[in-house]
Amino acid sequence: MTNYRLEELRTQIDRIDMQLLDLLNRRAAIVEEIGKEKDKQGTIKYDPVRERELLNRVAANNQGPFSTETLQHLFKQIFKISLKLQESDNSEMLLVSRKRHPQDTIVDIRGQKIGDGNKYFVAGPCSVESEEQVRATAAEIKKHGLTLLRGGAFKPRTSPYDFQGLGEEGLEILRKVADEFGLSVISEIMAPEDVEMSLKYVDVIQVGARNMQNFNLLKAVGRIKKPVLLKRGLSATIEEFKYAAEYILSQGNDQVILCERGIRTYERATRNTLDITAVPILKQETHLPVAVDVTHSTGRRDIMIPAAKAAIAIGADMVMAEVHPDPSVALSDSQQQMDFRQFDTFMDALKPVVFS
C-alpha cells in the first residue's frame, strides 16, 4: 500500500469518527428530551422491552464485518450511558440539590442563623440524666457564650439492656433548664409518633444515625415546621444521606442541617472514621448547612480539638460535641464525653479560630 493510499484511508476514518461523534451527541440530546418527557409523564426511565427490540434490530441489520455479539455489546454501552444521562439530570432535580436551589439555605434556630457563614457550636450531654446534670452543663455552655444545648432523652442504644433515656421527662428537663439560661434545645426523636409530642419541648429535632433511613420518621419530621438535624447513617453513602434529607424536604420542611458523624470502616483507632471531605461535598452538592459531630465520629477526647479545627477549616457551619459534668459516671458514652475542664480547653482552642 502506498503512503498516499494510507493517508487517504486515514482521512476517511477521521471523517467517519467525527460523524460518529456528532451522531452520538445528537442521539444523547434526543435521549435527554425523552428523559424530560418521561419525567413529565412520571414513567420509569429504563425500558427493557424497547432495549430488546433495539438489540434485535442491530442483529437483523448487521452486515459485518463486526459480529452481532460485538455490536450488541457496543450498543448496550450506548444505552447504559444514555440512561445515566437521564438519571444524572434527575439527581440535579432533587430538592436538596444546589443546582436546583443555588442559594444557601439558612436554618433559623430561635434567631441563630445556621448557614449564614458564621460558625456555631452545639454541646451538651450524651443523655439527659437529671435536672442538676443538665443545669450544670447549661451553665457551662452559657459561660462560653453558646446558645445551643443538646441532650438525648430517647437513646438509640445497641443493647436493649443499656440506659434507654428518660423519654418525655428528659425533654421536660431540657426545656425547663434551657429556658432558665435562654438556650435552644436539640434532642433526638426516634419514633414518628413522638414527633408531635416533642414539639413543645425542642427547638431542633435530631434524627440519629441509626434512623437515617427510618423513612416514616423522615416523612414525619418533614411535615413539621421546626428545624431538623439529620445525622449520616453509620454506613450510609453521601448519596443515601442526600436522599434521606430529600425525604424531609419532599414533605415541605427545608430547615434541615446535615450532620457528618463518622462512618464505619475497618479502622479501630477511632470509634468511627470522620469523613471530613463529606463536608465540602455536601456543601457543593446541596444548599443545606453542614455540621460535624466530633464526639461520635472520633470517640476520642484527645483529638477533638484538631478534629473540630479541621471541620471548621473545611467549611462546616456547626460543630457538635458532648460534654458532661462527670463523664466517668455518665449513663452513656462515658468514654468520649468531655468534662468541663476539657470543654474549657476545647472552647479556648477554637474561639480564636472561629471568632477571629
- Rule CB under 5 A: which residues touch Mn ion? 126, 333
CA gap 324, 328 in Å, rounded: 9
Report the SS3 class of residue 322: strand
Contact indicator for 167, 130 with CB cutoff of 8 Å: no
Nearer to Mn ion, 277 or 335 (CB): 335
3-state secondary structure of 116: coil
- Min CB(186)–ligand PEP separation in Å: 9
- By Cβ distance, which residue is nearest to Mn ion? 126
Q: Phi and psi of 245, rounded to 5°? A: -65, -35
User: Any residues with CB less than 8 A from the CB of 344 and at least 6 apart, and which?
Assistant: 144
Per CB under 6 A, 296 contacts ligand PEP = yes
CB of 151 to ligand PEP, least distance (A): 8
What angle (nearest 5°) sits at the alpha carbon of residue 68, between those of residues 67 and 71? 90
Whose cell is 414539639? That residue is 199
| Closer residue to ligand PEP in complex, CB, 31/207 | 207
Contact between 195 and 218 (Cβ < 8 Å): no
Task: Provide, rounded to whole angstroms, the least separation between the CB of residue 123 and ligand PEP.
Answer: 11
What is the C-alpha separation between 302 and 311, in angstroms, rounded? Answer: 16
User: Contact with ligand PEP (CB under 6 A): which of 188, 203, 260, 275?
Assistant: 188
Closer residue to ligand PEP, CB minimum distance, 35 or 208: 208
Q: For residue 65, is the peptide bond before it cis, meaning its omega torsion is within 30 degrees of 0?
A: yes
At closest approach, how far in Å is the CB of 166 from ligand PEP?
Answer: 14
Q: Where are the alpha helices (DSSP H) in the chain?
A: 3-41, 48-61, 68-92, 131-143, 168-181, 192-198, 215-222, 238-250, 278-285, 294-298, 304-313, 340-354
Least CB distance to Mn ion at residue 286 (A): 25
271 near ligand PEP, judged by CB under 6 A? no
Per DSSP, the chain holds a count of helices (H) and strands (E) of 12, 10
287 binds, options Mn ion, ligand PEP, none, Cβ within 5 to 8 A by partner type? none
In this structure, the number of other CB atoms found within 10 A of the CB of residue 239 comes to: 10
Name which of Mn ion, ligand PEP, none residue 208 binds, using a CB cut-off of 5 to 8 Å depending on partner kind.
Answer: ligand PEP
* CA dihedral sign of residues 326, 332, 336, 337: negative
- Can you tell me which of 35, 125, 152, 165 binds ligand PEP, judged by CB under 6 A? 152
CB of 151 to Mn ion, least distance (A): 10
Q: Report which of 60, 53, 54 is spatially closest to residue 74, judged by C-alpha positions.
A: 54
188 binds, among Mn ion, ligand PEP, none (CB under 5 to 8 A by kind): ligand PEP
Of Mn ion, ligand PEP, none, which one sits near residue 275, judging by CB under 5 to 8 A according to partner kind?
none
| Residue with smaller CB distance to Mn ion, 140 or 333 | 333
256 binds, among Mn ion, ligand PEP, none (CB under 5 to 8 A by kind): none
Nearer to ligand PEP by C-beta: 153 or 220?
A: 153
Q: Which of residues 68-127 bind ligand PEP (CB under 6 A)?
A: 126
**Which of 126/282 has CB closer to Mn ion?**
126
Q: What is the maximum alpha-carbon separation in the chain?
A: 95
Q: Choose from ligand PEP, Mn ion, none: what does 231 bind? Cβ within 5-8 Å by kind.
A: ligand PEP
| Of the candidate residues 231, 271, 283, 301, the single one contacting ligand PEP (CB under 6 A) | 231
Count of other CB atoms within 10 angstroms of residue 216: 12
Q: Does residue 165 belong to the site contacting ligand PEP (CB under 6 A)?
A: no
Closest by alpha carbon to 295, among 81, 54, 82, 123? 123
Nearer to Mn ion, 115 or 208 (CB): 208
x/- contact string, 192-211, with ligand PEP (CB under 6 A)?
----------------xxx-
For ligand PEP, the binding residues (CB under 6 A) are: 126, 152, 156, 188, 208-210, 231, 261, 293, 296
